Amino acid sequence: MDIYLGSDHAGVLLKKKVLSHLRESGHKAIDLGVFDEVNKVDYPDIAREVGEKVLENNGSRGVLVCGTGIGMSIAANKMKGIRAACVHDVTTAEMAAKHNNANIITFGERVLGEQVARDMIDVWLKTPFEGGRHEDRLNKISNIEND
Ligand code: RB5
């Protein structure tokens, strides 16, 4: 599975650690930037870039890191077909896969440690979507996008 990563300046250090973790775990992880924490950028630009790649590449996923994870999730969720979950711990990451079939997770470098970030990604990637009633709810979300 291809996994696209992106961050703004406030998330770049944690994103680099997560990138190494994914590659060490054997995933194809592609870092779309940014690459330094000094030059300030606008998180919606990065969210859009990662979201577009996830939509183009069927079955791929995205990881977005900013200061809190909030801005990235708000921006990514404006894109039709993106289900971006702002996660904080292993439980929210697991449920983002199981119930929400999130194709992107977002989280914040200013509010999370590296080990939590690694554990969240691992559980999100390995947990299958349950489907059933949750599929019906996702269809209703698609209806909102289409109305
Ligand atoms: C940047 O200062 C910060 O606002 C951004 O990284 C993010 O936390 C927004 O939600």
For the segment 63-89, what is each residue's pLDDT rounded down to a tens digit? Answer: 999 999 999 999 999 999 999 999 999
Matching residue, tokens 């559980």 = 123
Query: Whose Cα sits closest to atom 5 in ligand 1?
Result: 67
CA angle 22, 99, 45 (to 5 degrees): 55
Closest CA to 68 of 106, 114, 104, 39: 106
Summarize pLDDT for 6-61 with one digit per residue, the tens: 999 999 999 999 999 999 999 999 999 999 999 999 999 999 999 999 999 999 99
pLDDT of residue 89: 98
Ligand 1 centroid to Cα of residue 69, in Å, is: 8
Q: What is the mean pLDDT of residues 99-115?
A: 98
DSSP state of 7: E
Q: What is the pTM of this model?
A: 0.98
Q: Which pLDDT belongs to residue 17? A: 98
Q: What is the mean pLDDT of residues 132-140?
A: 98
pLDDT value, residue 146: 96
CA distance 32 to 116: 22
**What is the CA 118 to chain-centroid distance, rounded?**
13
pLDDT above 90 as % of the chain: 100
Ligand 1, atom 9, residue with closest C-alpha: 71
Strand order in the sheet with 61-66: 28-31, 2-7, 61-66, 104-108, 84-86
User: What backbone torsions phi and psi does residue 143 show, to the nearest 5 degrees?
Assistant: -60, -40
Nearest CA to ligand 1 atom 10: 71
Write down the domain spans for the chain: 2-146
Active site residue 86: no
pLDDT at 106: 99
Q: Please, which residues have CB within 8 angstroms of residue 122's CB and are 6 or more apart in sequence?
A: 25
On whether the CB atoms of residues 8 and 42 are closer than 8 A, the answer is yes
Q: First vs last Cα of the chain: how many Å apart?
A: 31
d(CA 110, CA 77): 21
Give me the architecture of the 2-146 domain, per CATH.
3-Layer(aba) Sandwich (3.40)
Average pLDDT of the segment spanning 118-128: 98
Site to substitute for ligand 1 among 37, 68, 73, most atoms within 8 A of C-beta: 68
Is 99 a residue of the active site?
yes
Question: Residue 73: its pLDDT value, please?
Answer: 98
